[in-house]
Amino acid sequence: MRKLKMMFCVMMLPLVVVGCTSKQSVSQCVKPPPPPAWIMQPPPDWQTPL
Rounded-to-integer distance, Cα 23 and Cα 19, Å: 8
Residue 47 lies in a domain: no
Rounded-to-integer distance, Cα 24 and Cα 18, Å: 11
Rounded-to-integer distance, Cα 7 and Cα 13, Å: 10
Residue 33 lies in a domain: yes
**How many domains does the chain fold into?**
1
Rounded-to-integer distance, Cα 36 and Cα 23, Å: 37
Give the domain range for residue 14: 1-39
State pTM to two decimals. 0.34
Q: What is the pLDDT of residues 1-50, one digit of tens each?
A: 788 778 777 877 777 777 666 666 666 778 888 888 888 888 888 888 87
The C-alpha angle with vertex 29 and arms to 25 and 35, in degrees rounded to 5, equals 140
